[in-house]
C-alpha cells in the first residue's frame, strides 16, 4: 500500500488545479452563453386564489366606477370607445373612459404569454415571459457617480460606459434603455445617440426611446437599418418602457408612443410608478389593484392597435415617508407588491416587468445591495 504524505496531497491538488485551469482555458465560459435564466423552482404564491379574486374585483371597480383619464390623444380615445369603453369628454383635450368589468381582461387576451426579443447577436436573444427571467441594468437614473468625479449629471460618455459595463457582465441579459440621462446632448436629438450606443457597444437586446412618438419611430427605424426591414416586420427587436401618470392617467405622449411601437409589431412595457400615500393607497392590496388597472389598460391599447403584438405588464410599487415625502426604497412593501403582481401576471398570462435591488443607499455599501 502506498501512503500519501501531506506534501504529496498538496502537490496533487496543485497539479489538479492547473489541469482544470488549462481545460477551462480551452473551453468557452459556459456562463457567458446563457442569454436568460429559466426558472426550475415553483414561484412563491403569496396570496390565495380567493384573495387574487378580491384584488381583481377591486381593479374592475376602479375601471368601471372611476375610470382612466386620457389626455391629448383622441385616436386612442376612439379606439377604446369602439371597443366598448364609456367615454366622457372633460375639459380641453381630456377624456375619462370607464370599462365594464371584464372588458379589459378580454382585450388583453390576444397578447402572447411569451415572446422573443431578438438581439444583434442571435445567441443573446431573450425569451420574455413564462418561466424565464431576464436581468437588465437600472433605468432612468438622473445622476451618476464615480470615484474620480463624484456625483453629477450624466453625459453620453457615462451612458456609453454603462452599456460597456453591462455588456461585460455575464449576469445581465439585456442592455436596458435609459441607464442614465445624457444631459450634454440636446433633448430632441439625444435619443439617436442613445439607441446608437446600445447598437454599437452591446450585442444584447435593448429598449428604445419613449419621450415622443417621433422619437419612438426613429428608434424603430434604426432597428430596420440594423436588422433589415422584413425581419423587423415579423419579429420583436426593440421595446419601449412607458409610464402611466399615476393616479389613473395615461397622457398623450405615452399612448401615442405605445401605438407607434404596436403599429410596428414591437413590444412595449406599461409601468405605473406608485408611491404609497402620494399617488396610490398606502395599503399594498389597494396599490396593487390600482397598479393592475393602469398597466392592463396600457396593455389593452396595444391589442386594439395590432392584436397579438407582444406587451408586458409593469409593476413599480414603493412606499413613501409620511414625514419627509421622499420615496423609501428598500422596505418590504415593494418586494411584496412584486410577488403579488407576479401572481397576477401568471393569471392574465402576460409577461411582467418589475424592479429589483431597491435601495436608498447613496454609496456603494452593504445597504446598496438592496432587496428585490
**Which tens digit of pLDDT belongs to each residue from 81-127?**
999 999 999 999 999 999 999 999 999 999 999 999 999 999 999 99
13 occurs within a structural domain: no
For 254, left (φ over 0), alpha (ψ -120 to 50), or beta? alpha
DSSP annotation of 279 = T
> What is residue 327's predicted lDDT score, i.e. its pLDDT?
78
pLDDT at 67: 98
Which residues are within 8 A (CB) of 84 and not within 5 positions of it... i.e. 6 or more apart?
Answer: 99, 100, 103
Contact yes or no for 258/241 (Cβ under 8 A) = no
DSSP state of 66: I
What is the full per-residue pLDDT of the chain (372 aa) written as tens digits?
445 455 655 555 566 656 665 555 554 444 456 789 999 999 989 999 999 999 999 999 999 999 999 999 999 999 999 999 999 999 999 999 999 999 999 999 999 999 999 999 999 999 999 999 999 998 988 899 888 999 999 999 999 999 999 999 988 999 999 999 999 999 999 999 999 999 999 999 999 999 999 999 999 999 999 999 999 999 999 999 999 999 999 999 999 999 999 999 999 999 999 999 899 999 999 999 999 999 999 999 999 999 999 999 999 988 888 888 887 777 788 889 999 999 999 999 999 999 876 776 777 777 776 554
Residue 120 lies in a domain: yes
Range of the domain at 311: 38-369
> What is the DSSP annotation of 162-217?
HHHHHHH-TT-----S-SB--TTS-TTTHHHHHHHHHHHH--S--B---SSHHHHH
Query: From CA 271, how far away is CA 233, in angstroms rounded?
Result: 25
What pLDDT is attached to residue 29?
47
Tens digits of residue pLDDT in 342-368: 999 999 999 999 987 677 677 777 777
For residue 133, what is its C-alpha cell?
427571467
pTM of the model: 0.89
274 within some domain: yes
What pLDDT score was predicted for residue 12?
58
Looking at the domain assignment, is residue 1 inside a domain?
Answer: no
pLDDT at 372: 46
Residue 171, in any domain of the structure: yes
Residue 5, in any domain of the structure: no
Helix (H, G, I), strand (E, B) or coil at 309: coil
As a whole number of Å, the CA-based R_g of the chain is 23
Whether residue 276 contacts residue 317, with contact meaning beta carbons closer than 8 Å, is answered with yes
Judge whether 123 lies within some domain: yes
CATH code of the domain covering residue 279 = 3.20.20.480
pLDDT at position 27 is 47
What was the pLDDT predicted at 169?
92
Q: Are strands 94-98 and 86-89 parallel, antiparallel or unpaired?
A: antiparallel
Does a structural domain hold residue 121?
yes
Number of folded domains that form the chain? 1
The pLDDT value given to residue 69 = 98
User: What is the pLDDT at residue 356?
Assistant: 74
What pLDDT is recorded for position 323?
85
Amino acid at each position: 500500500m502506498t501512503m500519501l504524505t501531506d506534501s504529496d496531497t498538496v502537490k496533487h491538488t496543485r497539479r489538479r488545479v492547473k489541469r482544470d485551469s488549462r481545460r477551462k482555458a480551452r473551453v468557452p465560459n459556459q456562463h457567458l452563453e446563457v442569454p436568460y435564466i429559466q426558472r426550475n423552482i415553483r414561484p412563491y404564491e403569496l396570496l390565495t386564489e380567493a384573495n387574487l379574486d378580491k384584488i381583481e374585483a377591486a381593479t374592475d371597480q376602479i375601471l368601471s366606477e372611476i375610470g382612466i383619464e386620457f389626455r391629448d390623444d383622441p385616436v386612442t380615445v376612439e379606439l377604446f370607445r369602439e371597443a366598448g369603453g364609456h367615454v366622457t369628454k372633460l375639459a380641453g383635450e381630456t377624456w375619462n373612459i370607464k370599462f365594464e368589468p371584464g372588458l379589459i381582461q378580454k382585450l388583453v387576451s390576444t397578447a402572447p404569454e411569451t415572446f422573443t426579443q431578438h438581439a444583434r447577436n442571435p445567441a443573446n436573444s431573450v425569451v420574455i415571459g413564462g418561466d424565464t427571467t431576464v436581468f437588465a441594468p437600472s433605468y432612468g437614473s438622473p445622476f451618476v457617480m464615480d470615484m474620480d468625479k463624484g456625483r453629477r449629471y450624466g453625459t453620453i460618455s457615462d451612458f456609453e460606459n454603462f452599456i460597456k459595463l453591462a455588456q461585460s457582465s455575464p449576469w445581465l441579459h439585456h442592455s436596458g434603455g435609459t441607464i442614465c440621462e445624457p444631459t450634454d446632448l440636446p433633448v430632441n436629438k439625444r435619443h439617436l445617440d442613445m439607441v446608437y450606443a446600445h447598437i454599437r457597444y452591446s450585442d444584447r437586446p435593448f429598449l428604445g426611446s419613449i419621450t415622443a412618438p417621433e422619437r419612438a419611430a426613429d428608434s424603430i427605424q434604426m432597428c430596420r437599418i440594423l436588422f433589415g426591414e422584413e425581419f423587423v416586420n415579423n419579429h420583436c427587436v426593440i421595446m419601449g418602457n412607458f409610464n402611466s401618470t399615476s393616479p389613473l392617467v395615461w397622457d398623450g405622449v405615452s399612448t401615442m408612443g405605445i401605438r407607434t411601437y404596436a403599429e410596428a409589431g414591437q413590444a412595449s412595457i406599461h409601468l405605473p410608478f406608485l408611491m404609497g400615500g402620494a399617488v396610490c393607497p398606502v395599503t399594498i392590496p389597494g396599490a396593487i389593484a390600482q397598479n393592475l388597472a393602469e398597466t392592463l389598460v396600457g396593455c389593452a391599447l396595444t391589442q386594439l392597435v395590432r392584436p397579438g403584438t407582444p406587451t408586458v405588464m409593469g409593476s413599480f410599487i414603493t412606499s413613501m415617508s409620511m414625514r419627509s415625502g421622499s420615496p423609501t426604497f428598500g422596505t418590504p412593501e415593494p418586494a411584496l407588491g412584486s410577488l403579488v403582481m407576479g401572481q397576477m401576471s401568471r393569471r392574465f398570462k402576460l409577461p411582467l416587468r418589475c424592479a429589483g435591488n431597491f435601495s436608498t443607499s447613496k454609496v456603494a455599501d452593504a445597504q446598496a445591495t438592496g432587496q428585490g
